[in-house]
A = this chain, B = another copy of it.
Amino acid sequence: MADSAPLPPAAADAADIRAATVAAGARPRRSDATRAAILAAARDRFAADGYERATIRAIARDAGIDPSMVMRYYGNKEGLFAAASEIDLRAPDLTGVPRGERGARLVRHFLERWERDETLTGMLRVGVTNEAGAERMRGVFRDQMGPVIAAVCPAPDEAPARAALIASQILGMALCRYVLHLPPAVGLSRDEVVGWLAPTVQRYLTAELP
């Protein structure tokens, strides 16, 4: 079974520092850089290893500090996970997009989002194994996918089901392509994926109920 290779020291950028600052709801402190480094390392580890195999000791090592600091700043492993898994899908506003291009727009956005960093891979990895992770995914879906779909959905009461259908296709492709690495799914170009999936999403968005 593959050992978890050591990860390069996680780079905590300005956004991370700001996030770590506001997360504590206070003005800047001397330890914000450390908090941010922990958060960045935790994100990487959770994404790469899942909740169980991502150890606090490994996260601390990546961040270059002592494990006890993690406990001091985030309480326990669950608290660290909660802080590290704040997800912003940046789902696009579809109301300004021509009706026929909305499917393609959604698919392309999420492909790019998925390839930019390992955040979503991590979310999926933890969501599948861990109930707290699953609850977080349900929250992200409800709060960030729901409104986007509802805004362009003819009948408001159909919106949740349509959103779930769209999520199933997009998540399923991400699963095959970025997590399971099924060779044919990996082999498709980004444009090919959009070409295949866009009509599906478009139909889930607008077609009559079957």
Contact = CB atoms under 8 A, between A and B. Distances in A.
A164 B138 contact: no
Contact of A130 (B1, B163, B183, B199): B1
Contacts of A182: 137-138, 141, 164, 167
Contact of A181 (B50, B134, B142, B173): B134
Nearest to A137: B180
B203 A199 contact: yes
Label chain A's interface by main secondary structure: helix
Contacts of A160: 183-184, 187
Most chain B beta-carbon contacts within 10 A, residue among A52, A165, A183, A203: A165
Given A50-B52, A176-B171, A164 B141 contact: no
B183 A176 contact: no
A178 to B, nearest CB: 11
A53 B131 CA distance: 13
Interface string A154-194: 00000011011101111111011101111111011000100
Interface stretch (A32-40, A58-66, A92-100, A120-128): A120-128
Interface string A187-210: 110001001100110011000011
Contacts of A177: 168
Contact of A172 (B128, B141, B161, B172): B172
A176 B5 CA distance: 30
A10 to B, nearest CB: 21
Nearest to A176: B168
A15 interface: no
Contacts of A141: 182
Contact of A165 (B129, B170, B175, B196): B196
Contacts of A52: 50, 52-53, 129
A78 interface: yes
A167 B124 CA distance: 17
A164 B176 contact: yes
Given A160-B183, A170-B172, A171-B175, 15 more contacts: A50-B52, A50-B129, A53-B129, A160-B187, A161-B188, A167-B185, A168-B169, A168-B175, A168-B176, A168-B177, A171-B172, A171-B176, A195-B209, A195-B210, A196-B210
